[in-house]
Amino acid sequence: MKTDIEIALEADMQPIGDIAAQLSLTAEDFEPYGHYKAKLSDNLLDKLSSRPEGKVILTTSINPTPAGEGKSTVTVGLGQALNRLNKHAIIALREPSLGPTMGIKGGAAGGGYSQVVPMQEINLHFTGDIHAITTANNALSAFIDNHIHHGNELQIDPRRVEWKRVLDINDRALRQVNVGLGGPAKGVPREDGFTITVASEIMAVLCLANEIQDLKARLARIVIGYTYDKKPVTVHQLGFEGALTLLLKDAFKPNLVQTLENTPAIIHGGPFANIAHGCNSVMATKIAAKLGDYVVTEAGFGADLGAEKFLDIKTRAGHFEPDTVVIVATIRALKMHGGVNKNQLTTEDLEALKQGMTNLKKHIETIEQFNLPYVVAINKFPTDTEQEINSLTEWCKQKRVEVALVDVFSQGGEGGIELAQKVIESSERKTGAVSYTYDLDDSIEEKIYKIVTKVYGGDRVEFSSTAKKQLQQLEREGHDKLPICMAKTQYSLSDDPMLIGRPEGFTITVRELRASVGAGFIVALTGDVMTMPGLPKKPAALNMDVTEDGIITGLF
């Protein structure tokens, strides 16, 4: 089979104006960025308010493994399949970050015959959204240091500036830096660090805002650090929410592209899935729902992190609900959850598969707790045996779980017809509202306890002494009514990445609590979370080139 980039470069793309026309958009509703990308007006929601809303389909998965689940590929393939069934389907995805693209081989735009295109542009600078966020984030850092330098009227404690600088690059040498060195002309010395741009609170803010004034209000609320007497200092006190909004006004507009089969796709926003909520923007999903009969969207990592945050954070911020959920699993990954080693996945192992299904089972229960219908999608790999597939489908049938075999990677939309049909049926089965994991009025401890017991299947929560102090501080500052954003390993339902399958009886330890007041959630950190990746010894960038013939190589 051809490589992803070979397939992508052969795509028969339609001019983006034709894709827009297909969605009944007029010339003032979008701005072209090149021939195959466009920015949608952020006034579209107002303009389309009388249009009915399409069904929202959330794609999630079991806990990820090195075997790969292909959640984005299934998301794109499902959209293409719905289109083949003559449904107006539209896909809403996250924007990929450049840092990892340069570091380790791999894009973030689906795979095989289920990709969004032009993938080489989507995976490079795209329409500049992430660069605008980098700029706004670092402008704020400069404003903070400038304030301290010029008299420090707000009495910001340089030791307690929590706002970090960012770059959309994997660069371990920037994890911890000292800035302001070299004497009075070069600012006030202090300890600082860079995170990757997608971990900036501004990314989360952009993804959760409902319109541009909401964006500005959220930016204004961001807490950048503390004064010498430990009072929080906000962007509003510094007076820069207007300038930051101006820097973000175009980045706030969702981006329209298409799939290999010309299904419209909106790609917008890409916050980290641990210290942030890991979903594309509220704006994108809501506009997509106005433009299509079916919106297929995804959330980062497995259902314990991505779907939980999609439901408890994103849909609350955006005042909408999904209609159904697709839970993606692969035979390979289930076998890994059953204890099989990565290099033995091609050998049939029905016992391990059965063991691994306990992980799938937990995520099914979680979606049921949210009171949402769902379909399990088995994302087929060439090495899956018939016995293995039968074993998994039989198990689903016994449990009265809707299941569909999917092969969108090698067949495109055609390989997702069965799933599409079941998803259409499933989206009609929703009864009543989503049942959130916790009430916003619950205490922070209660909220975390409910996530741990209901979603992770754990027994207890422990708070470090630091976290306990922070708990009290957040209550004092009145931030305890915000939803919780858990930062936990994606590899396990627990906070120990080695505990695969369906661990039980475990305790989750909350090491630290941080308020992302602008984004509107409290981050609960369990274990170390790396917010600035490093590069491998031989980065993927070494293979990249633009040849004499103008051909791009090495990107994927």
- Please state the residue numbers annotated as binding site: 65-72
- 124 touching a copy of itself, by CB under 8 A: yes
Instruction: Name which of residues 144 to 163 contact a copy of itself (CB under 8 A).
Output: 145-146, 149-151
Q: Which of 325, 323, 346 is nearest to 335 (CA)?
A: 346
DSSP 166: E
> Is the separation of the CB atoms in 448 and 524 below 8 Å?
yes
Q: Minimal distance in Å, beta carbon 29 to a copy of itself?
A: 12
Which residue is it, tokens 């970090």?
164
| Residue nearer to a copy of itself on the CB measure, 66 or 536 | 536
Which residues neighbour 21 within 8 Å (Cβ) at sequence distance 6 or greater? Answer: none
One-character DSSP codes across 310-376: IIIIIHHHHT---SEEEEEE-HHHHHHHTT--GGGTTS--HHHHHHHHHHHHHHHHHHHHTT--EEE
Tell which one of 141, 426, 427, 494 touches a copy of itself (CB under 8 A): 141
Contact mark string toward a copy of itself, 189..228, x via CB under 8 A? -----------------------xx--x------------
> Is the separation of the CB atoms in 292 and 90 below 8 Å?
yes
Tell which one of 9, 217, 401, 552 touches a copy of itself (CB under 8 A): 552
Which residues neighbour 184 within 8 Å (Cβ) at sequence distance 6 or greater? Answer: none
- 142 touching a copy of itself, by CB under 8 A: yes
- 539 touching a copy of itself, by CB under 8 A: yes
Tell which one of 176, 341, 387, 472 touches a copy of itself (CB under 8 A): 176
Instruction: Name which of residues 102 to 121 contact a copy of itself (CB under 8 A).
Output: 102
| Residue nearer to a copy of itself on the CB measure, 2 or 35 | 35
- 66 touching a copy of itself, by CB under 8 A: no
Which residues neighbour 493 within 8 Å (Cβ) at sequence distance 6 or greater? Answer: 63, 304, 359, 362, 456, 457, 458, 499, 502, 503
Of 75-83, 308-316, 465-473, 540-548, the window that binds a copy of itself (rule: CB under 8 A) is 540-548
- 185 touching a copy of itself, by CB under 8 A: yes
Tell which one of 73, 115, 170, 259 touches a copy of itself (CB under 8 A): 170
Q: Minimal distance in Å, beta carbon 160 to a copy of itself?
A: 16
- 268 touching a copy of itself, by CB under 8 A: no
Residue type, 541: A
Find the radius of gyration of the CA atoms of the chain. 23
| Integer Cα distance of 507 and 509 in angstroms | 6
| Residue nearer to a copy of itself on the CB measure, 136 or 423 | 136
Instruction: Name which of residues 344 to 383 contact a copy of itself (CB under 8 A).
Output: none
Q: Which of 184, 175, 214, 493 is nearest to 363 (CA)?
A: 493
| Residue nearer to a copy of itself on the CB measure, 339 or 554 | 554
Of 33-41, 44-52, 426-434, 437-445, the window that binds a copy of itself (rule: CB under 8 A) is 33-41
Instruction: Give the residue numbers of the binding site for ATP.
Output: 65-72
Of 73-81, 184-192, 254-262, 342-350, the window that binds a copy of itself (rule: CB under 8 A) is 184-192
H or E stretch covering 21: helix 16-22
| Integer Cα distance of 413 and 420 in angstroms | 9
Sign of CA dihedral 401, 406, 412, 416: negative
Q: Where are the alpha helices (DSSP H) in 85-227?
A: 98-103, 119-122, 129-149, 201-208, 212-221
Tell which one of 188, 434, 499, 529 touches a copy of itself (CB under 8 A): 188
From the CB of residue 490, how many other CB atoms can be counted at a distance below 10 Å?
A: 17
Instruction: Name which of residues 86 to 105 contact a copy of itself (CB under 8 A).
Output: 98, 102
- 247 touching a copy of itself, by CB under 8 A: yes
Instruction: Name which of residues 428 to 467 contact a copy of itself (CB under 8 A).
Output: none
Tell which one of 53, 106, 152, 187 touches a copy of itself (CB under 8 A): 187
Q: Minimal distance in Å, beta carbon 547 to a copy of itself?
A: 9
In angstroms, the Cα distances linking 409 to 3, 75, 419 are 11, 11, 14
> Is the separation of the CB atoms in 60 and 327 below 8 Å?
yes
- 68 touching a copy of itself, by CB under 8 A: no
What φ, ψ does residue 254 adopt, rounded to 5°?
A: -65, 155
Residue type, 385: T
Instruction: Name which of residues 499 to 538 contact a copy of itself (CB under 8 A).
Output: 534-535, 537
Q: Minimal distance in Å, beta carbon 161 to a copy of itself?
A: 11
Report the Cα–Cα distance between both ends of the chain, in Å, rounded. Answer: 14
Q: Minimal distance in Å, beta carbon 504 to a copy of itself?
A: 33
Tell which one of 9, 139, 217, 405 touches a copy of itself (CB under 8 A): 139
Q: Minimal distance in Å, beta carbon 158 to a copy of itself?
A: 10
Size of the site for a copy of itself (CB under 8 A): 74
| Integer Cα distance of 283 and 286 in angstroms | 5
| Integer Cα distance of 368 and 62 in angstroms | 15
Tell which one of 97, 138, 470, 489 touches a copy of itself (CB under 8 A): 138
Of 174-182, 263-271, 344-352, 510-518, the window that binds a copy of itself (rule: CB under 8 A) is 174-182
Q: Which of 69, 67, 83, 74 is nearest to 115 (CA)?
A: 74
Which residue is it, tokens 């799939």?
259
Tell which one of 8, 25, 39, 119 touches a copy of itself (CB under 8 A): 39
Instruction: Name which of residues 286 to 305 contact a copy of itself (CB under 8 A).
Output: none
- 471 touching a copy of itself, by CB under 8 A: no
